[in-house]
Structure 1
Amino acid sequence: MKEFLRQVERNCISGALVLLPLLVFFVLLEKVWKFFQNYGEKFAHFLRLDLILGKYATDIAGGVILILLVYFSGYLMRLSLLRRFTKWVDDKLMIFLPGYEKNKKEAEAKLNKRKGKPSTDLPILLKNGEFWQPAHLIEEDEKGNAVVFLPNAPAKDQGQILIVKKSDFKKLSETTLGNLDNSIKSFGKGILSFK
């Protein structure tokens, strides 16, 4: 009976951990969509689209505004100030939304496959003589070369940049950069379990 209750407890906790990020995502999506619907309604009324398209004019105009905003935000990302701000927001979301980093990495991997680019900025283990060191894969090329960032423990932001052959490292595909960086901050604690 105790084993059954433990199993129920584990399932409930696991289910909550799966549903919480989804719930937060859909609540945020609903808020964002209502915001753009509000401006879409004003825009549709201004252009008299509501007379032609009826109640769908609000959704169509809001969707067009959202797409234009996303498109022009791509141009703004070239500004270093905005890029730093976006990175700061990403770091905060990783703290407050469980599973955010994993889902972001999966989405980036899918986008990279679609673009035909190799995945970069991944956690790796770099071969250094007889031992392995945790590192970040920054860039790869078709010739078999790779740029690697080798952080100095416990400062994850300081280290060396190396150019190595692909045969000199192995990717930790089931590990996130956040987990690797936390391990580096704690002088390697938990690295042995990374895959």
Structure 2
Amino acid sequence: MKEFLGQVERNCISGGLLLLPILVFFVLLEKVWKFFQNYGEKFAHFLRLDHVLGKYATDIAGGVILILLLYLSGFVMRLAILRRFTDWIDDKLMIFLPGYEKNKKEAEAKLKGRTPKPSTDLPILLKNGDYWQPAHLVEEDQNGNAVVFVPAAPAKDHGQILIVKTSDFKILPETTLGNLDNSIKSFGKGILSFK
């Protein structure tokens, strides 16, 4: 019974972690769309489109304004100062919105027309002297050797590649690579609860 309740708890937590970014995305999308509908209504009334298209004029005008804004933003993004500003906003969103980075990368890959290759790395703790260090298991061979990537906090994409013995690390089977990377970005917060 205790094992069953533990499984139910894990499933509920995993489900919450899956649904939370989706829910946040749709809430933000709804707020953005209402914002553009508001200005679309004023624009449609100004051009008298509401007399021709009726209740759909608001949606059409809001959509046109949104598309024009996206198009013009593409030109503005070529300016270096705005690119740094949007990178700063992305960094803040990655901290406060779980799953933002993953969803952003998936969206960028779809926009570029390519699907990212799924990572086969596994989250591990690497024995380093008297302490354990979070790392990625890249691959193992049959001779007991393994290739390990040790990220340098807070950058999860920069670090060292090491060849170690399989006895020098332990795999974290209940931890996802995304959770490990998020913990590394926040200087190790949450690693003690990883299993």
TM-score (normalised: structure 2): 0.62
Alignment of 1:55-66 (within 5 A): 55-66=55-66
SS at match of 1:78: coil
1:52 deviates by 0.2
How far apart in 1 are the matches of 2:184 and 2:115?
27
The 3 A distance-change label for structure 1 pair 118 and 34 is closer
1:182 deviates by 2.8
SS at match of 2:85: helix
In structure 1, the residue matched to 2:17 is: 17
In structure 2, the residue matched to 1:193 is: none
Q: Which amino acid aligns with 1:29?
A: L
Equivalent residues of 1:134, 1:180 under 8 A apart? no
1:110 deviates by 2.2
Equivalent residues of 2:49, 2:57 under 8 A apart? yes
Q: Check if 1:27 corresponds to 2:27.
A: yes
Equivalent residues of 1:40, 1:61 under 8 A apart? yes
Aligned residues: 145
In structure 2, the residue matched to 1:4 is: 4
Equivalent residues of 2:154, 2:184 under 8 A apart? no
Equivalent residues of 2:21, 2:100 under 8 A apart? yes
How far apart in 2 are the matches of 1:103 and 1:17?
13
How far apart in 1 are the matches of 2:29 and 2:107?
17
Q: Check if 1:182 corresponds to 2:184.
A: yes
Q: Which amino acid aligns with 1:100?
A: Y
How far apart in 2 are the matches of 1:118 and 1:27?
26
Q: Check if 1:87 corresponds to 2:87.
A: yes
How far apart in 2 are the matches of 1:181 and 1:41?
45
1:19 deviates by 0.9
1:77 deviates by 0.3
1:179 deviates by 2.2
Alignment of 1:19-168 (within 5 A): 19-112=19-112, 114=113, 134=149, 153=152, 156=155
1:103-130 CA distance string (max 9 Å, x none): 1112222223x2x7999xxx998xxxxx
How far apart in 1 are the matches of 2:155 and 2:17?
28
SS at match of 1:98: coil
1:154 deviates by 5.7
The 3 A distance-change label for structure 1 pair 82 and 36 is same
How far apart in 2 are the matches of 1:5 and 1:51?
60
How far apart in 2 are the matches of 1:57 and 1:180?
44
**Percent identity over the alignment?**
69
Equivalent residues of 1:37, 1:58 under 8 A apart? yes
